[in-house]
Amino acid sequence: MDISIIIVSWNTRDLLTQCLQSVEACTINEERFSVETFVIDNASTDGSPQMVHKHFPHVHLIENVQNVGFARANNQAIPQSTGRYVVLLNSDTEVLPGALAAMGEFMEAYPQAAGCGPVLLNADGTLQPSCHPMLTPEREFWRLMFLDRIWPRATYAQTRWDQSTPRQVEVIKGACFMLRREALNQVGLLDDQYFMYTEEMDLCHRLLEAGWTLWWVPEAKVKHYGEASSRQAAEEMYIQLYRSKAQFHRKFGGSRRAEHFKRLLWLAYWPRFITVALAAKLKPGLAGRARTYRRLLAELRAM
């Protein structure tokens, strides 16, 4: 098998249906690469597994009895897959025609590449960030203080990039990420100590440390509808995002770097909380955001 597609899903039946249809269309029209598809369902209650059984019987389905998280679910399928390339694909994506072939052809032309990612598009076709520099505490603070609008340090200025030339990058977002199995075999699978978020950055960090390269491939385009699973538990997932980032800094920089990250996070979020809490008195719709910020500040020490 050439390409193994791994899709983790939690209560995203309709989007998963669209995603699988788009993958199926690609595999029918792009005969150069053979493709197998795995869906790992994290205990959905919306009928997602039944939909896969009924409409996509050729898909390898793994049904978990509880939500084991994104990294662990991917790691269930990757060892069972047989492709030379493994594609981590979100269930809320639509693979546009030619995307799989473009990434596969790039990987064959660049043997030093551990992985590549496509152009991610919003539902309306506008550009969505699909890669970014490696996270540091300072870059996170820079982004949270909106200084990226003046001088991009935590993000790439992708709107200025040549849309016809591949570009070497540091982190590829996990919404769609093609990986060379040889590189995975060398550095290991996703770290399943991350429940959700940052696991792809951890993997990118290990791949770069091992001497591989990562690339953005503009010939490949994928629509990403965004956070379909995390919106179902928005506050918890917001907190989980920063737990995972603190975990990343602790793993690769020790407790001192993690504490430095949390101090900068407190400096960025304390004024946000005060501002939004005051604004919520006039606009009650902001109360939920103020509650989330308050909880983040309260839980920072334990992260």
pLDDT tens readout for residues 142-188: 999 999 989 989 999 999 999 899 999 999 999 999 999 999 999 99
Task: State yes or no: pLDDT of 227 exceeds 80.
Answer: no
Average pLDDT over residues 280-286: 94
What domains, with CATH codes, occur in the chain?
3-228 (3.90.550.10), 231-299 (no CATH)
Percent above pLDDT 90 for the chain: 91
The average confidence (pLDDT) of the chain is 94
Res. 230 pLDDT band, cuts 50 70 90: very low
pLDDT surpassing 60 at residue 265: yes
What is the Cα–Cα distance from 204 to 275, expressed in whole angstroms? 36
pLDDT at position 32:
84
pLDDT surpasses 80 at 30:
no
Comparing 51-55, 108-112, 226-230, 251-255, which segment has the lowest mean pLDDT?
Answer: 226-230
pLDDT for position 33: 92
Residue 229: what pLDDT?
A: 46
